[in-house]
Structure 1
Amino acid sequence: MNNILQVRNVNDYSHYLGCNEQHPLITVINYAEVSPMRHSLNNYSVYGLFLRDDANIDLEYGCGKYDYNKGTLLCVAPGQIGGKEDNGEQVSITGWALLFHPDLLHNFPLEKHIKDYSFFDYRVNEALHMTEDEHDILVSLMQQIRKELNNKPDNLQNTIIISYIELALNFCQRFYNRQFITRKHENSDILIRFDRLLREYFENKLQLTHGVPSVQYCANELCMSPNYFGDVIKKTTGETASNHIRFFIIQLAKNYLTAGETVSQVSEHLGFEYSQHFSRMFKKLEGITPSEYCKKLCY
């Protein structure tokens, strides 16, 4: 891990590959023009979209494998590490890369909502595999950005470039949404595993030492990034993963209350530190307090 390339700006990566500088805050790279090249393990301080036509990633989802292989898109955000450490090997790869520094977005609306694109925090095995049409759309947008970078700078250039970036990100979001839809069987498998995990969590009384299960915990146990896990559950059920956990807990609570346990006892059984927190969650989801629910049971 000693040979990590610090990509503090886009041209740190460009220089490593032997590319000419295009702009201090953004670069578009056609890997076919710089291959063969050496591997690099990169510590990013920039955003990056890496479209690899040669990536040999056998993605597994539940009981099946994903069958789109025109191109694989990997997305990174500042603070992430990705790639492969330089071992001296020369490799020939094809595809495109778009890197841009957060400073490029300063004073543009995209600066505030870029964090809404959750795919920047997906893991490699959660990468987007694209259809041919999807692949061609992203390549076209990268080519357009590159063409604009070759134009003489003016006071509209950054606005145009950022518009292209936002369009590319929106297409990526659409493509991921399509991927979730076309993988309904695999998503259902994830949901089944999620429910089993929650059931076993409470059966093993982990809530007594760890509290109520979190989305982070469930995602880790299911070997997914929290963002990808949350997006799968949202697309499959229409509810957030955190709400799915809450609904599961409320159903357990109803079982305990129906069996005659007090609100305080139920709260303790479910792993809440304070019974007020349990009562607040119950009322938020059911519209009545646990005590009011118990009174209804008596009628």
Structure 2
Amino acid sequence: MAPGQTIAIEQIEPSDRAFGWTIAFHPDLIRNSEMGRKIEHYNFFHYDTNEALHLSAREVRLVADIAANIELECGNNLDRHSQMLIQSNLELLLKYSERFYDRQFYVRRDLNRGHLNRLNAFLHDYYQSEQCLDKGIPSVALCGKELGLSPYYLSDLLKRETGKNALEHIHLFIIERAKSLLHDGNISITQIAYDLGFEYPQHFSKLFKAKTGLSPRAFKAQS
């Protein structure tokens, strides 16, 4: 559940195995704090529910202990240390969540490589079928939808597998395709830009130079 999101709970059948807790707090608690400045960088708040963490029994106990510390601190008489201690425990909880996601990405490397292969296949088919002429450059959201993944999860997955996020991966694919087209001296740079899904040729030129250090014209001249 991400900051600003709402949640609704329908009637649940009682079960001895069902348990859990929620930490909800007002934004003022972390406003102007180090945690307040960092919280937007935790991408897992934007993951879909099917991309949630799967914790071991030891990890569940560790997370529950941190939650218990927060609950204990909230139940104490407030003093000048209270807000800082609650913030520290919240940040510790987020740090452990980030660590556990790193572990989860690592143990799912075979599955993640499958996602990478499917992404490359989708991009290849997208351009081979010339969908880019109508839809433009494929977005991270479109790629994620095709793979059944949220955009942030896809980006984090690729970052851990290849060192590049989803947008960088899409751009790399486009640049490699552009290089092949530039080797064909019969196609103008403007036409190549349109064929790759760019609305404006100058946007293509800017991206190409940023990624290769050469303008499309200079690259074509030395090919």
Provide TM-score, normalisation by structure 2: 0.94
The 5-angstrom pairing of residues 254-293 of structure 1 reads 254-260=179-185, 261-293=187-219
Instruction: Give the C-alpha shift of residue 82 in structure 1.
Output: 4.1
- SS of the aligned residue for 2:24 comes to strand
Q: Which residue of 2 aligns with 1:244?
A: 169
Alignment-mate amino acid for residue 139 of structure 2: S
Instruction: Give the C-alpha shift of residue 95 in structure 1.
Output: 2.8
The 5-angstrom pairing of residues 107-126 of structure 1 reads 107-126=32-51
> Which moves more between the two structures, 175-184 or 89-98?
89-98
Alignment-mate amino acid for residue 266 of structure 1: I
Per-residue CA shift, 1:19-44, capped at 9, x if unaligned? Answer: xxxxxxxxxxxxxxxxxxxxxxxxxx
Per-residue CA shift, 1:207-243, capped at 9, x if unaligned? Answer: 1111111111111111111111111111111001101
The 5-angstrom pairing of residues 160-175 of structure 1 reads 160-175=85-100
Alignment-mate amino acid for residue 94 of structure 1: F
Instruction: Give the C-alpha shift of residue 100 in structure 1.
Output: 2.1
Q: Which residue of 1 aligns with 2:135?
A: 210
Instruction: Give the C-alpha shift of residue 188 in structure 1.
Output: 0.1
Name the CA shift for 1:167/1:128 in 2 (closer, same or farther; >3 Å): same
% identity of equivalent residues: 39
1 CA distance for matches of 2:44 and 2:8? 17
2 CA distance for matches of 1:196 and 1:273? 24
> Which moves more between the two structures, 166-175 or 104-113?
104-113
Runs of 4+ in 1 over 6 A off after TM superposition: none
- SS of the aligned residue for 1:91 comes to coil
Q: Which residue of 2 aligns with 1:78?
A: 3
The 5-angstrom pairing of residues 46-195 of structure 1 reads 76-82=1-7, 84-86=9-11, 89-92=12-15, 93-195=18-120
Provide TM-score, normalisation by structure 1: 0.71
Instruction: Give the C-alpha shift of residue 103 in structure 1.
Output: 2.3
Aligned residues of 2:137 and 2:198 also touching (Cα < 8 A): yes
Name the CA shift for 1:233/1:83 in 2 (closer, same or farther; >3 Å): farther
Per-residue CA shift, 1:67-113, capped at 9, x if unaligned? Answer: xxxxxxxxx12343445433xx5423223332222222122121122
RMSD in angstroms over aligned alpha carbons? 1.4
Across the two proteins, how many residue pairs are aligned to each other? 220
Per-residue CA shift, 1:180-224, capped at 9, x if unaligned? Answer: 011110000000010011011111111111111111111111111
2 CA distance for matches of 1:189 and 1:82? 32
Unpaired stretches in structure 2, ≥5 consecutive residues: none
Question: Greater share of helix residues, 1 or 2?
Answer: 2
1 CA distance for matches of 2:219 and 2:203? 16
Instruction: Give the C-alpha shift of residue 155 in structure 1.
Output: 1.3
1 CA distance for matches of 2:194 and 2:111? 35
Unpaired stretches in structure 1, ≥5 consecutive residues: 1-75
Aligned residues of 2:3 and 2:45 also touching (Cα < 8 A): no
2 CA distance for matches of 1:289 and 1:270? 16
